[in-house]
């Protein structure tokens, strides 16, 4: 009997996440992905659900997504090894009010979804408000985009128009533009709601000196947006000089404090 990982959706999800590592965008534990399952998707994966789902309390905004199910990557997972360890580094959850149920994956419920789950749920809700067919939210660390954020003006109008000006394909691929947040501590906190607010208008949101959130109806759309942005960020970096701004010492101390690290400043 074929397993859950033989299903086309699961194969595409695993291949897409591994592609991020191959592209150099998913180093170490970097990157996460969430896919909103349709009724047809659920019918295909339901035979593989655990007999007793694992219920996990969830104290964040469920964004009106109660009853929805998501395929989502694991906190601490690695895109480098996801092909061999998909049942550890991915899982399926169902959102409840005040909790979620792990239905499959994460080493039979021993692991947990990405720590950026609150941001993913809020972003899904925002995109569904603009596009009822939206399925994906993907976060990764494109190399040249991150380099560009140290050089370019971070005003989102200017940032968008700079990318548009570098290649005639850009305005065709993302005519809606790009949202850009100011730098802030990643993970739980204000960055999730602010990213979701941007996603009411944009399919792409840039976190300076960190990475990108992308959304779409399909893996092709969400990944194609990232590829197009990073390709033309590469062009920008190739013709511009040294970084003009980056994470400052105070912001580094905020990061260290937030994650309980003892850094040698």
Interatomic CA distance for residues 172 and 194, integer angstroms: 26
Burial status of residue 106 (CB atoms within 10 A of its CB: 0-12, 13-18, 19 or more): buried
Interatomic CA distance for residues 105 and 242, integer angstroms: 44
In this structure, how many other beta carbons lie within 10 angstroms of the beta carbon of residue 124?
Answer: 26
Question: What would the two tokens of residue 214 be?
Answer: 């992308």
Per the residue annotation, which of 22, 27, 97, 116 is the catalytic one?
116
The verdict on whether 116 is a catalytic residue reads yes
Question: What would the two tokens of residue 218 be?
Answer: 């399909």
Q: Which residues of 131-142 are buried (b: 16+ CB within 10 A; e: fewer)?
A: eeebbbbbbbbb
On whether the CB atoms of residues 139 and 124 are closer than 8 A, the answer is no
Q: In sequence order, what are the beta bridge partners of 73?
A: 90
Would you please indicate which residues are annotated as catalytic (active-site) residues?
A: 116
């Amino acid at each position: 009997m074929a397993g859950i990982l033989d299903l086309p959706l699961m194969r595409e999800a695993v291949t897409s996440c591994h592609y991020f590592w191959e592209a150099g965008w998913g180093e170490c534990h970097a990157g996460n992905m969430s896919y909103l399952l349709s009724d047809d998707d659920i019918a295909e994966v339901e035979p593989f659900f655990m007999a007793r789902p694992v219920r996990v309390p969830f104290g964040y905004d469920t964004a009106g997504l109660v009853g929805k199910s998501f395929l989502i990557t694991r906190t601490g997972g690695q895109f480098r090894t996801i092909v061999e360890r998909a049942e550890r580094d991915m899982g399926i959850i169902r959102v409840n009010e005040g909790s979620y149920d792990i239905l499959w994956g994460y080493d039979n419920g021993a692991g947990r979804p990405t720590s950026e789950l609150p941001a993913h749920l809020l972003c899904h809700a925002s995109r569904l408000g603009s596009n009822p067919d939206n399925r994906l939210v993907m976060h990764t660390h494109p190399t040249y985009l991150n380099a560009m954020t140290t050089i370019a003006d971070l005003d989102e109008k200017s940032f968008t128009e700079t990318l548009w000006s570098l290649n005639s394909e850009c305005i065709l691929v993302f005519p809606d533009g790009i949202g850009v947040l100011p730098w802030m501590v990643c993970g739980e906190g204000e960055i999730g709601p602010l990213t979701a607010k941007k996603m009411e208008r944009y399919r792409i949101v840039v976190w300076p000196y960190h990475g990108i959130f992308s959304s779409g109806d399909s893996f092709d759309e969400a990944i194609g947006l990232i590829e197009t942005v990073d390709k033309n960020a590469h062009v920008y970096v190739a013709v511009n000089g040294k970084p003009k701004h980056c994470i400052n010492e105070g912001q580094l101390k905020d990061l260290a404090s937030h994650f309980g690290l003892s850094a040698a400043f």
